[in-house]
Every structure is written in C-alpha cells, then in structure tokens.
Amino acid sequence: MSTIEMVDYGQLPAVRMRSADGAQAIVTLYGAHLVSWQGADGAERLFCSAASKLDGSRAIRGGVPVIFPQFAERGSGMRHGFARVATWRLQDSGTHDGAAFAVFALEHGDLAPALAQAWPHGFALTLRVEVRGAALALAFEVRNTGLDAFAFSAALHTYFSVGQLARVRIGGVQEGWLHIEDKFDHIFRAIDGPMTLADGGTTLHLEQSGFGDAVVWNPGALDSAALSDMEDAEYQRFVCIEPALIAPLTLAPGAAWRGAHRVGIEVQ
C-alpha cells in the first residue's frame, strides 16, 4: 500500500511518502528539501552530512536543496537564494498506480519579512516529488504572480551518495567519462541528453528537462575540512550533479517556467 505521513527529520517536520513497492522519500517543509530517497531495493541514494544542522538554523547539507532565485553568488541576494531556507507548505499529496507523490508550495507571502523585503516580487513555486520502484521524479515550477517581470536562476542541487568518490564515473556531461578525485566545481552548459552516474555495480540514469545546464560539484578534502556542516572525510561519499538554469531567465507577469529531473536506478 502507498502511504503519505508526517514525520520528524532531526527537528524538522517532514513528509514521508512510500510507494506500494516500498520506494520512499522524505522531504522537510524547511526548504522543500528532499533529504532521503530509497528505491524499492531499500538502498539510500542521497547523501546527507552527519554534521548537517537539522533545526532550521541553516540550509541542510545534502539531499536536494532547491536553489532559487539565484545560483551561488551570481547575484546580489543571498547565496543560492532563499528557497532552501524558507518554510514551504504541503499543497497536495497522494498515490496513483502504486506511486506516491507530494507537492510543496512557496509564495512571496510565505516568506519571513526580511526575505520578503529583499526580493519584492510576486512568485509561486511548486516542487512535486514522486517515487515508485527504481525511479524518482522531481518537477519544479516557477510562476510569476506579480505585476512586474523578474529574472531568476534555479537548480536542484542533488547530492548523490557514492561508495568512493575516486571510483565514480559521470557520463553525458563531456566527451568520455568524467572522473573526480578531489575538488571539482564546473558548470556544463547545454546538456541535451541523459547523464549517468556509475558507482561500482550501480548506475543512476539522470534526465533533466527545462534546466539547460548541469553543475558537478565536490568540495574535495581541503574545502570539506573547512565546512562546519560537513565531516572531513565525507567528501569521498558524494557527488553533486545539479540540473541548473544558470543564466537568469526573465519571467513575464503570469508566465511560468518548468524544470524536471528524473533519476532511475540500475543495479548490475
């Protein structure tokens, strides 16, 4: 049976969805942050740092932070935007054909006063998360509900759990495989096909639409040690592959933009 229930994740209220075949995901309302995803095989596919704050005092280190309306420091607002540190609402949830899904929403009126003043635009965001079998589907929508156009960037900053960073191969971002052993931070532009993340006997198949770019990031040993919310050796346990819209897109009043990210697990 598929189920949707409220749970605590650390000190944060969260939604856990389970599909009929046992796939599950947990999303905190803080950030509409997907912190855990297991396919029906029960293996955790996302990384979340053991040192992450889970109390709403700062963004969660791991999972899938929703980046909006600015990427990193490419803009005058807060680093990676406010969506990952705002508290979203559960707008809808349910089950269909054995899958379980939940939809999270954030509007300008939901923002704390300081954030609302810093970004005075009418907007409505939704993030839909669905799990079933070996598949995860994320759908992100940005709608301009105001009277003026605004420009935004966005990303689904996915931290994939890996056995050992140095063994991982990433396909679909450049000619041949990409290998990462230490610090790496690169924006791959104009992604026009599926990507793969191969780790030992498991391959994740990644497909994105709407998002034209993909950012691949790992902090490496030195930066990892300098991050207060990551343990020193943890950089070897994940790689971020992030569907992204880096160059700001201008959205007219009433217009909407959609980006999707689908992940499928193949175990050899």
Q: Which residues bind ligand G6P (CB under 6 A)?
A: 72, 79-80, 185, 215, 217, 240, 242
Rounded least distance, CB 143 to ligand G6P, Å: 25
**20 vs 221, which CB is nearer to ligand G6P?**
221
Burial 15-53 (b: 16+ CB within 10 A, else e): bbbbbbeebbbbbbbbbbbbbbbbbbeeeebbbbbeebb
Task: Tell me the C-alpha distance between 233 and 260, whole Å.
Answer: 31
Query: DSSP label at 46?
Result: B
Burial 107-124 (b: 16+ CB within 10 A, else e): bbeebeeebeeebebebb
Rounded least distance, CB 166 to ligand G6P, Å: 19
Rounded least distance, CB 152 to ligand G6P, Å: 16
**240 vs 251, which CB is nearer to ligand G6P?**
240
Rounded least distance, CB 146 to ligand G6P, Å: 27
**39 vs 65, which CB is nearer to ligand G6P?**
65
- Rounded to 5°, the CA angle 62-248-193 comes to 65
Task: Tell me the C-alpha distance between 235 and 244, whole Å.
Answer: 21
The residue number with the shortest CB distance to ligand G6P is 217
**81 vs 172, which CB is nearer to ligand G6P?**
81
Rounded least distance, CB 205 to ligand G6P, Å: 21
Burial class (CB in 10 A: 0-12, 13-18, 19+), 202: middle
